[in-house]
Amino acid sequence: MMEKKTVYALLSVFIVGLLIGLPAGYYLNQSPASSGSSVSVISAGSLKYALQDSFSSSFANETGITTGYNFIGSVAGAREVQSGQQADVFVSASASVIPSLLMNNYTNWMMIFATNQMAITWLNQKYNISPGSFWFENITAGNVTVSASNASLDPSGYVAIEMTKLAGILYTQWQNKTVQAAFNYNQSEFELYNNAWNSWFGTNGTLVKEGVGPGYKNNDSLALYDQIFVYMMNHGRMKLTPEEIGLNGYLQSGAADYALTYRSQAKSQGLYYFENSTGQNGLPSWINLGSLSEKQVKFYQLVNASGPSNDNIGDVPASPIMYALTILNSSRTSPAANQYVYYLVTSMGQNALSRNYFSPLSTPYGMNIQNMPAELQNLAKPIPSYIPESDYT
């Protein structure tokens, strides 16, 4: 017969092992914030529909915790924190905002939890862009006005700048091995776009003949960027808004015909957006900045976010669109804030994000994981080494 000491020892090992293996959710359920607690969140405006309309009601039903939001451009939101605005959780549409503007003084960790894609959107079907069209012709035609967020206030603004520059490389630089891979090594397909690019933007191209463009040298990869963010802006045909959520107003009023914004924003606000023949984003992943694959991340690095003087954050390398969050040091409701983050980056939040056309990460990436609240640490894994630090710092 087994001695009592042996039984107790085995039982102790079993209990310890069980406790170690329990998920973070169990810990939160055992020490939840009191019912009736609230969490204040400063969030990127592009998350308004996913968080306020989809996630928060489920979160409140599950936990009894209510949420108050301030939806604002991520850069502008970080500046509000710097100026003393109180909040528990900060959510950014660009992972680099938290390390560059909030790290050390306001927080010491970050979790990357979702991606998004850049898209070309419109509301008036007069401006429909058919699948397979040379979309850059539509958004730079002489009779249209384009809108985007101001890059100095909102990440979607500088992502729009990066997208136009990436398109230039994709459609003009066959000698680039990555461009060849993007076209599946089909040079004929590349030449369709390349010929259209030069016929439209080139020295003797359509824009010159119509008197609505300066004319660029053949294979000028910056032609699209310059046409929109320099020429059209100088001629009153480029409209900027402080945050991407305001672009819908431009389209509704007719002040703008197209908006360069996130795909999720188009779907949430009932806008049309440029799709391919299979119903996916018509802007390929090589230029829509929505991929976390190693090859595409490296391709994004070929351009930067530098824009015109009134719409510029400087020579920052392009990176994937990565949504990140943190709990601020000043949080006065830490248990409730911990639960908010836990539910947002696990199944409840992932479902809400997916319904609103974001791409949640199955396992978030973490920066300074050791500094996260203990019950959140096992939710994250280190950021892959192929993603340069410049993409998130």
Concatenating the DSSP letter of every residue in 96-151 gives THIIIIIBTTTBS-EEEEEE--EEEEESSGGG---TTS-HHHHTTSTT--EEEE-T
Q: Sorting pLDDT into bands at 50, 70 and 90, what band is 189?
A: very high
CB atoms within 10 A of CB 46: 30
Tens digit of pLDDT for each residue in 238-284?
Answer: 999 887 777 888 999 999 999 999 999 888 889 999 999 999 999 99
CB atoms within 10 A of CB 305: 24
CA distance 318 to 301: 5
138, 129 in Cβ contact below 8 A? yes
- Residue partners of 15: CB distance under 8 A and separation at least 6: none
Tens digit of pLDDT for each residue in 351-362?
Answer: 999 999 999 999
pLDDT of residue 39: 97
β partners of residue 38: 66
CA distance 77 to 91: 9
Predicted TM-score (pTM) of this structure: 0.86
pLDDT of residue 35: 57
pLDDT of residue 152: 83
Place of tokens 């993603």: 387
Classify 59 as helix, strand or coil. Answer: helix
DSSP per residue over 204-264, as a string? Answer: TSHHHHTTSS--B-TT-TTHHHHIIIIIIHHTT-EEEESSGGGHHHHHHHTS-SEEEEEHH
Cα angle value 131/237/218 (rounded, 5°): 60
